[in-house]
C-alpha cells in the first residue's frame, strides 16, 4: 500500500501528465478551433477552461 502511495505522490496532479484529446469528430472540430483562437487571443487565463472542455 505504501508503494502505491509513493507512486501516486509522484504524479503531477496539476494536469501536465494528463492525456490530451488529439482527434475530434467533425462536430467538435469547430469548437476546438474556437477554443484555440480564444486561448491565442486571451493567453494563459483561458487555458484552464479549454482543458475542462477537452475531456468531455
* pLDDT tens-place string over residues 10-25: 776 666 666 777 787 8
Q: pTM (2 decimals)?
A: 0.34
pLDDT of residue 51: 54
User: What total number of domains does the chain contain?
Assistant: 1
Euclidean distance between CA atoms 36 and 54, whole angstroms: 11
Q: Which three cell numbers stand for residue 40?
A: 491565442
List pLDDT tens digits, range 1-54: 999 888 887 776 666 666 777 787 887 888 888 988 888 888 655 455 555 555
Sorted by sequence, the CB contacts under 8 Å of residue 14 that are 6+ apart come out as none
Residue-number span of the structural domain to which 29 is assigned? 2-54
Amino acid at each position: 500500500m505504501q508503494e502505491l502511495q509513493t507512486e501516486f505522490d509522484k504524479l503531477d496532479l496539476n494536469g501536465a501528465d494528463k492525456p490530451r484529446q488529439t482527434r475530434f469528430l467533425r462536430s467538435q472540430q469547430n469548437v476546438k478551433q474556437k477554443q484555440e483562437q480564444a486561448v491565442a487571443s486571451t493567453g494563459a487565463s483561458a487555458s484552464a477552461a479549454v482543458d475542462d472542455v477537452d475531456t468531455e
